Amino acid sequence: METLRSIFDLSGRVAVITGGNGGIGLGIAQALAAAGCNVSIWGRNADKNKNAAATMAGCAGKADARVCDVTDPASVKSAMAATLERFGRVDGCFANAGIGGGGRHAFIDRTEEQWRSMFATNLDGVFHVFQAAARHMTERATSGDPFGRLVATSSLASLFGTARNEHYAATKAAINALVRALAVELARQGVTSNAILPGWIKSDMTAGIMANEKFVANVMPRNSGAAVRRALGFRRHRGLSDEQGVVVSYRGLLCDRWRLYGVLITHALPQETCSRHSGE
């Protein structure tokens, strides 16, 4: 954490992380808090929220927790009002709350209820949260303080065919389009909008799948992940080893995973901090 604070100083900033009580959301919250950012964790489970906040007790940033159901606009408005009352402002909003496929079924057998439930959380939830955050950020910009960071958790499923999981993929593809449009609309208010696209990782959402030893052995080999790269069209760049950062190419583009990580991080940083690290 000392190293993180020495590179990224987010002291005085405030961020909301939906679904921040576990998995990717908790990781985001912990990283931000370690860098000095005050974080407000929004989740439906009060106990999980409390336990998540406790993990950041020793961080430079303060941790707050709010019970919030992102599918309910009133719940989102209430959580935002409480967060603003506690911290006075919100600089960043990470719309991470989401649900998985809930069991893979043939598309023709997918029920209307399953489809609507997926969109209610994964897409409508992002709409509710981003709208509340963007309204606050826009009002602040009008008052002479133009700044804001909107970040949504999308998925590689939005780019590559995910058979029997079309409802999940559709929500994530919609998120990609949403953040592009917001980036154009809100730029004049000093607000950026981006999405992160995680692949197969260990989290609460993928716990059941990751417990399948056959899946892990065949799709996610422990050493190099070659099967995943082959499936997605990636290939290892000749002459470079794992120790050099697993540089792979996709349609001729080189992608150093650490450099990419740094690029993603800068999108969530205060503008002045980004300018200091944009060349690294």
pLDDT tens figures, 150-194: 999 999 999 988 889 999 999 999 999 999 999 999 999 999 999
Confidence category of residue 206, pLDDT binned at 50, 70, 90: low
Among the options 98, 126, 168, 265, which is catalytic? 168
Alpha-carbon gap, residue 134 to 148, rounded angstroms: 8
Q: Which residue has the higher pLDDT, 7 or 140?
A: 140
Alpha-carbon gap, residue 94 to 202, rounded angstroms: 19
Domain ranges for the chain, please list them. 2-205
Average pLDDT of span 21-49: 96
Average pLDDT of span 205-224: 55
Confidence category of residue 227, pLDDT binned at 50, 70, 90: very low
Please report the beta strands in the chain, taking only residues with DSSP state E, as ranges in sequence order: 14-18, 38-43, 63-67, 92-95, 148-153, 191-196, 234-236, 248-250, 253-255
Q: Is there a catalytic annotation at residue 168?
A: yes
Number of residues in the chain: 280
pLDDT at 8: 77
CB 4 within 8 A of CB 35: yes
On the question of pLDDT at 28 being above 90, the answer is yes
On the question of pLDDT at 148 being above 50, the answer is yes
* Assigned CATH topology for domain 2-205: Rossmann fold (3.40.50)
pLDDT at 211: 62
pLDDT at 198: 86
